[in-house]
């Protein structure tokens, strides 16, 4: 399988727009989320997928700061990875890169593709990284993926801790931090 990780152009962002609802559908099981009254996986009153796609425009408005990657396998769309830098990340004083979103379509999982993609991204962007994921048993497969993959990619120790997602303390995140040096 030929795996490509390419910065997604404005002209190709519709591919990410097509994949993103599938990502949210997968996450709904992990985060125990339902659609809104319009059938869209959003907590607000977003009525259509077209409206939802508008939130992604920011990823193409800040080149060199926000990096929307399209993952392809044998020329076909297989997933996405969104990497953010300051000020679009949770701890801009401590890290250089934040894996904001990472998703592979189910067909491509368990084949080493995700690890290959993460290794390429981290290898191309040396520095301090942070990755968040859901810490519950429902997300066991993803937690194991990140533990194995980051251990293989990091040049320094990988730390992990559970933190509150926001000020309310209602949702927790498993936070991985690590460094990769060339």
The model's pLDDT over 90-128, given as tens digits with 9 standing for 90+, comes to 876 789 999 999 999 999 999 999 999 999 999 999 999
Other beta carbons less than 10 A from residue 156's beta carbon: 11
- More confident call, 39 vs 65: 65
Q: Specify the pLDDT at position 163.
A: 86
118: Cβ contacts below 8 Å, ≥ 6 apart: 81, 102, 149, 150, 153
Cα 33 to Cα 24, 38, 41, 165: the distances in Å are: 9, 14, 8, 16
Mean per-residue pLDDT, 120-140:
92
Confidence of residue 175 (pLDDT cuts 50, 70, 90): very high
Q: Specify the pLDDT at position 125.
A: 95
**Is the per-residue pLDDT at 150 higher than 60?**
yes
- In the chain, how long is the greatest CA-to-CA distance? 48
pLDDT in tens, 17-59: 999 998 888 887 776 778 778 877 787 888 887 888 888 889 9
pTM of this structure: 0.90
93-99 contacts, C-beta under 8 A, 24 or more apart: 94/128, 94/130, 94/177, 95/127, 95/128, 95/129, 95/130, 95/177, 96/125, 96/127, 96/128, 96/129, 97/125, 97/127, 97/128, 97/129, 97/130, 98/129, 98/130, 98/131, 99/129, 99/130, 99/131, 99/132
Confidence of residue 166 (pLDDT cuts 50, 70, 90): low
Identify the bridge partners of residue 102 per DSSP, sorted by sequence position.
Answer: 81
CATH of domain 3-180: 3.40.630.30
Confidence of residue 169 (pLDDT cuts 50, 70, 90): low
Q: Specify the pLDDT at position 8.
A: 97
């Amino acid at each position: 399988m030929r795996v490509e990780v390419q910065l997604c152009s404005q002209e190709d962002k519709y591919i990410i727009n097509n994949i993103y609802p599938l990502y949210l559908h997968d996450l709904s099981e992990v985060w125990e989320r339902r659609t809104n009254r319009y059938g869209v996986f959003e907590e607000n009153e977003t009525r259509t997928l077209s409206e939802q796609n508008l939130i992604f425009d920011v990823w193409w408005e800040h080149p060199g700061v926000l990096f929307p990657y399209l993952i392809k396998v044998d020329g076909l769309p297989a997933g996405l990875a969104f990497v953010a830098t300051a000020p679009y990340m949770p701890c801009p004083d401590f890290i250089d890169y934040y894996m904001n979103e990472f998703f592979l379509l189910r067909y491509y999982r368990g084949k080493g593709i995700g690890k290959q993609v993460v290794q390429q991204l981290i290898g191309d962007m040396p520095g301090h990284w942070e990755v968040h994921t859901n810490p519950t048993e429902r997300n066991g497969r993803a937690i194991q993926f990140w533990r194995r993959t980051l251990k293989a990619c990091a040049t320094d120790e990988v730390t992990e801790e559970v933190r509150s997602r926001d000020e309310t303390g209602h949702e927790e995140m498993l936070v991985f931090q690590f460094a990769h040096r060339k």
